[in-house]
Structure 1
Amino acid sequence: MTHFHYLALFLLLLSDPFAVVANANSEGDALYAFRRAVKDPNNVLQSWDPTLVDPCTWFHVTCDDHNRVTRVDLGHAKLSGHLVPQLGRLQRLQFLELSNNDLMGPIPKELGDLKSLVSLGLYQNNLTGSIPPTLSNLSNLKFFRLNSNNLTGRIPRELTKLTNLKILDLSDNDLCGTFPTSGSFSKFSEQSFRNNPRLKGPELMGFVRYDIGGSCN
């Protein structure tokens, strides 16, 4: 943490010490819940010490001038285990980068609470289950990469409301149904959806019945 961050923290403590500590504790608890849910053979999370009030001192965590967590960078860390719903508490988080690990299980619907998120990088893991429709709440999202997992079910059409998307990659999963071509998805080619053997597309307006979520026949 830089001298400027320490100065900002000092000024915040003077103005509202309880709010600063409460935010730090909440975000630290959320990140530590994730640490407990994964195996970490290379000890990249060793600095994530729950006895420290401020998670901004932890490696692979970046904070803003108000000591709120804005980045979690843990790509290629050889982590295995599960994502946890507590990650949804990181209200200022802009970048969640967990690609190229061995994470499994579902994507928590609580990630849809990360209203500041700009980049969601969960690609090249072993995630299963469906894509939560709650991710359509991420109105600031620009980079949305869930490729190379084992995700199933339909692509929620609510996701077409993500008007700021610049990169979309849902390829190399087991998604089914048809891929939406309306809203923000209209600017993406079939490359964003390739290698989903049960996925048909694009959808034809007026001829396809749109089912939200769930499994496909």
Structure 2
Amino acid sequence: MAFLSLLSFLLPILLSFSSAVSTNSEGNALHVFRTRLSDPTNVLQSWDPTLVNPCTWFHVTCDSNNHVVRLDLGNSNISGSLGPELGELKHLQYLELYRNSIGGKIPKELGNLEKLVSLDLYGNKFKGNIPKSFATLKSLRFLRINDNELSGSIPRELANLSNLKVFDVSNNDLCGTIPVDGPFGNFAMESYENNRLNGPELKGLVPYDFGC
């Protein structure tokens, strides 16, 4: 009985400590992310790395367990690049970085964000390929990476994203053919315009990366 009493006393403390450690690691990841950015209008002024967790920072939303679930920095006049540290935000559901001047490659580590519902990177200066790791984002419903400088083909692995409802890669420099499997049968052709894509994939006739 004494052991059970002690356990009932310690369990909330241990759970609280575990949550604090997790949140602190998320704060560390966001602090590293901030160091990669130029922020001329000080939208990230409240991001104080000395705080226990980032839940009081502007543009950051946490759940009841103090896990970061939303990052809203769309149209914030920031530039710089993204790094692998964003993959540490394991509870993130919304990553909104649209209409900025962020460049470089999209980190493959974003594929670690298994709870992500919306990924909006449109209207930036991203280059390189669309990461194949996006195929692990099984909860993803919205993927908008249009109006960038992305190249290469559309990864066929993305056809496994059964929950994907909106997909927009228009106004990039993508090549190859357009997938037809899975959710790709439902997306309007406007989602692909102003690229070097060769139209819907003709299976068995030409390779999917034909023209790349």
Q: TM-score, normalised by structure 2?
A: 0.92
Cα distance in structure 1, aligned partners of 2:208 and 2:150? 19
Q: CA deviation at 1:15?
A: 4.5
- Asked if 1:209 corresponds to 2:207, the answer is yes
1:72-151 matches, cutoff 5 A: 72-151=71-150
Residue 190 of structure 1 corresponds to 189
Count of residue pairs brought into register by the alignment:
202
Q: CA deviation at 1:199?
A: 1.1
Deviates more, 1:113-122 or 1:200-209: 200-209
Residue 35 of structure 2 corresponds to 36
Cα distance in structure 1, aligned partners of 2:121 and 2:29? 18
Structure 1 contact 21–53 (Cα < 8 Å) conserved = yes
Cα distance in structure 1, aligned partners of 2:202 and 2:41? 48
Residue 169 of structure 1 corresponds to 168
Identify if the C-alpha distance between structure 1 residues 86 and 15 changes in structure 2 by more than 3 Å, giving closer, same or farther. Answer: same
Structure 1 unaligned blocks of 5 or more: 1-11
Deviation readout 1:154-192 (Å, 9 max, x if unpaired): 110000111111111010000001111111111112111
Cα distance in structure 1, aligned partners of 2:27 and 2:211? 39
Q: CA deviation at 1:13?
A: 6.2
1:41-80 matches, cutoff 5 A: 41-80=40-79
Structure 2 contact 29–89 (Cα < 8 Å) conserved = yes
Cα distance in structure 1, aligned partners of 2:208 and 2:193? 20
Q: CA deviation at 1:18?
A: 2.5
SS of residue matched to 2:204: coil
Residue 7 of structure 1 corresponds to none
From the CA coordinates, give the structure whose radius of gyration is larger. 2
Q: For 1:62, give the aligned amino acid.
A: T
Deviation readout 1:141-162 (Å, 9 max, x if unpaired): 0010000000000110000111
